[in-house]
């Protein structure tokens, strides 16, 4: 029996613009998905196309138990974390010898297949390696970890990443002269944020600007706006949508002392709050006891 876990992720900056080759920054966060895999003659597991594809890709069969601290369809990378942790546990249980990078690649291909071509390598890479990651086109670079204090607010409005990506694509086709400069500006905000990564006030300001640009792209939602306003008025340095938008989750960068106040404000606006910070480990083996 082998148990592995893998973290969720948030986009700190640059979602949607990364689809068009602009830079984006994502970070692994503490909540995780735990997966136990056991060799068995009569394999059983919860119905999940991701888990089915993991066994197919690794060429074995077995039983699986999943325990998740991440809500699915909330924009926190739960499907990538399930896929990465399942592949790592299979790799371990059957001694297959795949490297972490190879597992991140296999996981990306599985996400792409299950999501019919619409997946970015960001979620699976960040979940496998942990930490802070700069994404530019197909390149991914781990950045030095930062002690960013975040509150994640889940709107509980489930969203579809592929629909939001499609919608932005359609807007861009219809109004290239408007949408392209917005995508360029998001790229510029990401670069400015990277230069100010250890200055939380500036970083918060960058988040606010990034959020306004995402609203301009049309991926806002009244529920995210409510949570963002609640976070800003209770002391966050800045707040924005994280991920595809149209519901899903928001993030607020907070002074340490304001975190629980911000979380309370999010909860009182009918959001689900998670107080969190960076996860630097990525996928890891858990003890079986
Ligand atoms: O909703 P999420 O967390 O899967 O993030 C999607 C991010 C996008 O930039 C909108 C799409 C992508 O593939 O990068």
CATH code, residues 2-145 = 3.30.230.10
Other residues' Cβ atoms within 10 Å of the Cβ of residue 112: 15
How many angstroms does the Cα of residue 16 sit away from the middle of ligand 1? 6
How many angstroms does the Cα of residue 81 sit away from the middle of ligand 1? 14
Tell me the best of 80, 119, 122, 170 to mutate to test the pocket of ligand 1, counting ligand atoms within 8 Å of each CB and taking the most: 122
Task: Let me know: does 86 contact 109? Beta carbons within 8 Å.
Answer: no
> Catalytic: which of 92, 105, 123, 177?
123
pTM over 0.85: yes
* Nearest-atom index, ligand 1, CA of 168: 10
How many angstroms does the Cα of residue 286 sit away from the middle of ligand 1? 28
Count of alpha carbons within 13 angstroms of residue 140, beta-carbon side: 19
* Nearest-atom index, ligand 1, CA of 135: 14
Residue 158 DSSP class = -
Q: Architecture of domain 150-276 in CATH? A: 2-Layer Sandwich (3.30)
Tell me the best of 79, 120, 211, 241 to mutate to test the pocket of ligand 1, counting ligand atoms within 8 Å of each CB and taking the most: 120
* Nearest-atom index, ligand 1, CA of 242: 3
User: Could you tell me where in the chain the CATH 3.30.70.890 domains are found?
Assistant: 150-276
pLDDT reported for residue 144: 94
Sequential DSSP letters for 161-190: HHHHHHHHHHHHHH-HHHHHHHHHHHHHHH
Ligand 1, CB within 6 Å, residue ranges: 11, 15-16, 18-19, 75, 77, 120, 122-123, 161, 165, 243-244, 248
> Residue whose CA is closest, atom 13 of ligand 1?
120
User: Could you tell me where in the chain the CATH 3.30.230.10 domains are found?
Assistant: 2-145
How many angstroms does the Cα of residue 218 sit away from the middle of ligand 1? 14
Q: For residue 42, what are the CA distances in angstroms to 56, 93, 159, 206?
A: 16, 16, 35, 53
Q: Tell me the sheet residues that pair with 32.
A: 7
The tens place of each residue's pLDDT in the chain, 289 residues long, gives: 999 999 999 999 999 999 999 999 999 999 999 999 999 888 877 788 999 999 999 999 999 999 999 988 788 999 999 999 999 999 999 999 999 999 999 999 999 898 876 677 899 999 999 999 999 988 999 999 999 999 999 999 988 888 899 999 999 999 999 999 999 999 999 999 999 999 999 999 999 999 999 999 999 999 999 999 999 999 999 999 999 999 999 999 999 999 999 999 999 999 999 999 999 999 999 987 6
H/E stretch holding 133: strand 132-136
- To the query of whether residue 52 is one of the catalytic residues in this protein, the response is no
């Amino acid at each position: 029996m082998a148990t592995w876990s893998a973290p969720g992720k948030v986009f700190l900056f640059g979602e949607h613009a990364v689809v068009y080759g602009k830079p984006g920054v994502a970070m692994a966060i503490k909540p995780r998905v735990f997966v136990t895999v056991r060799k068995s003659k009569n394999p059983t597991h919860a119905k999940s196309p991701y888990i089915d594809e993991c066994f197919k890709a690794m060429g074995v069969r077995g039983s699986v138990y999943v325990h998740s601290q991440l809500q699915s369809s909330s924009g926190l990378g739960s499907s990538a974390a399930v896929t990465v942790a399942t592949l790592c546990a299979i790799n371990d249980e059957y001694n297959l010898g795949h490297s972490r990078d190879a597992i991140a690649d296999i996981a990306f291909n599985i996400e792409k297949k299950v999501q019919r071509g619409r997946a970015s390598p960001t979620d699976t890479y960040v979940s496998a390696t942990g930490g802070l990651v700069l994404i530019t086109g197909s390149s991914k670079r781990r950045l030095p970890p930062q002690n960013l204090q975040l509150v994640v607010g889940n709107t509980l409005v489930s969203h579809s990443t592929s629909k939001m990506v499609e919608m932005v694509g359609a807007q861009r086709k219809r109004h290239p002269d408007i949408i392209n400069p917005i995508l360029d500006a998001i790229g510029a905000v990401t670069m400015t944020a990277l230069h100010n990564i250890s200055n939380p006030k500036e970083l918060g300001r960058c988040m606010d600007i990034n959020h306004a640009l995402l609203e301009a792209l049309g991926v806002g939602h009244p529920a995210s706006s409510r949570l963002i306003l609640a976070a800003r008025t209770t002391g966050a340095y800045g707040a924005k949508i994280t991920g595809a938008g149209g519901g899903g989750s928001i993030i607020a960068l907070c002074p340490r002392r304001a975190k629980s106040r911000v979380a309370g404000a999010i909860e009182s606006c009918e959001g689900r709050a998670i107080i969190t910070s960076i996860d630097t480990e990525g996928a890891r083996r858990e003890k079986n006891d």
